[in-house]
Structure 1
Amino acid sequence: MSDVRAIAGRVALVEDDPDLRASTQQLLTLAGFDVVPFVAAQPALLAIDADFDGIVVTDVRMPHMSGIELFRTLRERDPTLPVVLVTGHADVEMAVDALKAGAWDFLSKPFDPDALIAAATRAVAARALALDNRRLRAQAAGGEQAALIGRSPAIVRLREMIPVLADTDIDLLIEGETGTGKELLARLIHRAGRRARHRFVAVACAALPGQAIEDELFVTVGDRGIVGAQRGTLFLDDIDQAPRALQGRLTQVIEDRAIRGHRDAVPVDIRVIATAAEEAQRAPDAIAPALLYRLAAVRLRIPPLRERREDVPLLFAHLVDASAARLRREVPPLTHEARDLLAHHDWPGNVRELAHFADRFVLGLDGSGSMAASDDASRPLPERIAAFEREAILAAIAATGGEIGAAIDRLGIPRKTFYYKVQRLGIDLKTVRGQP
């Protein structure tokens, strides 16, 4: 049977004693860790930065720079990086002080091998979670979570479900129209749970030719196909468009949690998330009943934009900001034409179509982005920003029928900021609220 054991995590091992370094490296390697050995603190500092995707295990007493000094320097770089200290009897008090200062753990020599493995396992899990949270914050700033931005009850509920489902091993079926963000939701669920430190393997079921199914998906060695998702997530995109033969083999894998090879069945520890078109938009037998039964323990539906129109202005504002930053262009003022389109268009392509419109708007290519007008381009930047803010505030008030509280919610800014901008921009709320 093939060895499909996944790496448990990365460990930077800093130890100047060659025998102890070799034995500790062997211990951690056999436990499934990817060990990077260092003979001293200085070379470790050169290799470990704030984005290091692992933990540090270091001896305390070393020449030139001690393990305590190494810990303090690393903590300045990244306070979330776990550092496990290995101490002699005389250094225990020093290690306890370091523990109070934020060290992850310390072990006294001679240490129990199981204690080191347990400490490293806990630290690796904490490190993976910290890095995942950091990536999610960066992605939120960069627009990757755009599809789940909004205040409609359905979108709020989906966001609330992510941490609930993340650490369960229940297989999921995500249904929705094209462009609604089904794969995004699957990736966010994967990243929020304990499987985040392992791979998210995406399979485009509709695009797999017959021979590729055997050659790529159901291999039992290496890191391709299903075995590549070991201890991670297998993402089956457009499962309703998969051939029946493929659906049958996937049903067997999901049921047995194993791939049947020529001689043996190779076990796989995977979490399966599949996507499909809306139930009403696909044929009744598009998904084989046996497969649907196994996938649909939890079914999530992402509504199309036409069912959550209240989210469109907020989504568009987010996408325009992201597009302007990516294209290195100024944000143009919102025009009446663009506002009318946002309010009345059905957006059959959903968030993907809205994102394309945001790009065209920023570039002035759709006829509604007034940035293309020479008179606007000649205006100073503060004036253009003020004009955009004024248009956005007036649009929010109009869209909510003059309800100021609802307009503030739609704009997504604090109440104090709203009234400050209203005063600075010279907006007469009484007059505006009386306008149709």
Structure 2
Amino acid sequence: MAQAMKIAIVDDEKDMRQSISQWLALSGYDTETFASAEDALKVLGPEYPGIVISDIKMPGMDGMQFLKKLMGSDSALPVIMITGHGDVPMAVEAMRVGAFDFLEKPFNPDRMSQLAKKAANARRLTLDNRILRKELSDGSQLMKKLIGSSPVMSRLKEDILDLGQADGHVLIDGETGTGKTLVAHALHAVGSRAGKKFVLVSCSALEEDALTKRLFGPMLPEDTQLPAIEEARGGTLVLEDIEALSDTLQARLLSVINDQGTPAETRIVAICNLQEQNRTCEDALRSDLFYRLAALRITVPPLRQRGEDILTLFTRHAEQFSDEYGCDAPQVSAQEAAQLLQAPWPGNVRQLINLAERAVLQSRRGGGTIASLLMNDHEEMQPVMTTEGKPLKEYVEAFERMLIDNTMRRHRGSIASVMEELCLPRRTLNEKMAKYGLQRADYL
């Protein structure tokens, strides 16, 4: 389950601190109290995982000075101010400085709970966005999101690291749902442009005129956003669904690329989605543009070619959804593991994530099987099979790896507990973990 949001309560009156704390604790918040603004500032920082409720009139540093200090440290930190009866000018000034809202004494506890909930939701969104931005600028974090150790995924990661260091334009292709946009983020994050602008434009999401303006301008006086070509200058411009560009826009993009020279001032990463339609990106683009973009090329492998990565991905996402929904993750049987490995996965990783969520919800209700969910996805296939058969040994090893991985995660790396549950002697467990590349440190 998600960790309870913290609330820092700052008031020089002990009874007031305690009553606010008790009320909010009953509402499920993790409260901490401070008798002065000076004490609170020792704890509150830019990454504080919560909100602040503070009185305005306090000895020493008053609430307004305290608010200004907090806003200077983190302007997105929600601060609810408590004002005296009828002190409207003070409340207005607090809002101007950056207070989230204010409560007027004597206040209704339910009103305080409503404000706290609203502020906590805003704070959670802010912190989530900061984490996302950090991940999207952190190459090591992004590479960890490319889950899997199959040969095709190992090659993909090597390609990303190699091409990330190069400076030419890149074409990324592959089937729908394979994670091409994530690969584009990773290319940017592991290269020399990591600290520069990353701009993403979907070429299929806009009409011709709107797309022309978004990519190339012209700028109007009322516009607040630069054209993407200008906005991404010095960094990376990612063009999703590059095949949707009209001939006119293809010609204009080619002109921009030719004008930049070498090395390119702005790196263009083009994402193409045509493989599953028996039509390639080369068919959709004019040849001179295609060869400029495809000088460096990455093809993201479909899920059905990734072997035991399928089980790793399924269990990881099932764990995430079980945490989100507050229930246990469904246990995958040997038969279900084989069916997951044999499924054709036309929707690739995106389809697997949807299946994992449905499996968790189904398990929470106490019924259904993973097999039934797979059959619903592929009703025409009896039984669900890929076109490529695999030796029984591969299925057995994939299931064994998944079983050890899941058990290690559940027991947080406790070798003794895993040995007991799986009825394995220590030497055998160590040998299997080494065989499957499982490290105890990853589970601690």
Structure 2 counterpart of 1:348:
346
Identity of aligned residues (%): 33
What is the Cα deviation at residue 346 of structure 1?
0.8
Q: Is the 8 A contact 2:202 2:241 kept in 1?
A: yes
Distance change in 2, residues 1:197/1:327 (3 Å): farther
Structure 1 counterpart of 2:244:
241
Number of matched residues?
A: 269
User: 1:37-79: per-residue Cα shift (whole Å, max 9, x none)?
Assistant: xxxxxxxx9998579xxxxxxxxxxxxxxxxxxxxxxxxxxxx
Structure 2 counterpart of 1:277:
273
Q: Is the 8 A contact 2:304 2:345 kept in 1?
A: yes
What is the Cα deviation at residue 337 of structure 1?
6.7
What is the Cα deviation at residue 318 of structure 1?
1.4
Structure 2: segments with no counterpart, 5+ residues? 1-41, 49-133, 220-224, 368-391, 433-444
Q: Is the 8 A contact 2:321 2:360 kept in 1?
A: yes
Distance change in 2, residues 1:411/1:213 (3 Å): same
What is the Cα deviation at residue 286 of structure 1?
0.8
Structure 1: segments with no counterpart, 5+ residues? 1-44, 52-130, 259-266, 375-397
Q: Is the 8 A contact 2:311 2:402 kept in 1?
A: no
Distance change in 2, residues 1:286/1:332 (3 Å): same
Q: Is the 8 A contact 1:316 1:354 kept in 2?
A: yes
Q: Does 1:425 align with 2:425?
A: no
Structure 1 counterpart of 2:83:
none
User: 1:51-110: per-residue Cα shift (whole Å, max 9, x none)?
Assistant: 9xxxxxxxxxxxxxxxxxxxxxxxxxxxxxxxxxxxxxxxxxxxxxxxxxxxxxxxxxxx
Query: Which of 301, 305, 308 does residue 307 from structure 1 map onto?
Result: 305
Q: Is the 8 A contact 1:314 1:411 kept in 2?
A: no
Distance in 1, matches of 2:147 and 2:236, equals: 24
Structure 1 counterpart of 2:256:
253
Distance in 1, matches of 2:238 and 2:417, equals: 45
Q: Is the 8 A contact 1:408 1:418 kept in 2?
A: no
User: 1:326-381: per-residue Cα shift (whole Å, max 9, x none)?
Assistant: 334332322567435413211100000000011111111xxxx3x4228xxxxxxx
What is the Cα deviation at residue 409 of structure 1?
8.3
What is the Cα deviation at residue 163 of structure 1?
2.6
* Structure 2 SS opposite 1:157: helix
What is the Cα deviation at residue 288 of structure 1?
1.0
Distance in 1, matches of 2:238 and 2:291, equals: 17
Q: Is the 8 A contact 1:204 1:237 kept in 2?
A: yes
Q: How does 1:2-401 map to 2 (within 5 A)?
A: 135=138, 145=145, 148-219=146-217, 223-257=226-260, 269-277=265-273, 281-282=278-279, 285-335=283-333, 338-364=336-362, 369=363, 371-373=364-366, 400=394
* Structure 2 SS opposite 1:331: coil
User: 1:176-234: per-residue Cα shift (whole Å, max 9, x none)?
Assistant: 00000001000011112232222211111122312113322102655232111111111
Distance in 1, matches of 2:142 and 2:322, equals: 16
Q: Is the 8 A contact 1:206 1:238 kept in 2?
A: yes
Distance in 1, matches of 2:164 and 2:142, equals: 18
Q: Is the 8 A contact 1:172 1:274 kept in 2?
A: yes
What is the Cα deviation at residue 401 of structure 1?
6.0
What is the Cα deviation at residue 306 of structure 1?
1.3
* Structure 2 SS opposite 1:317: helix
* TM-score of the superposed pair, with normalisation by structure 2: 0.52
* Structure 2 SS opposite 1:194: coil
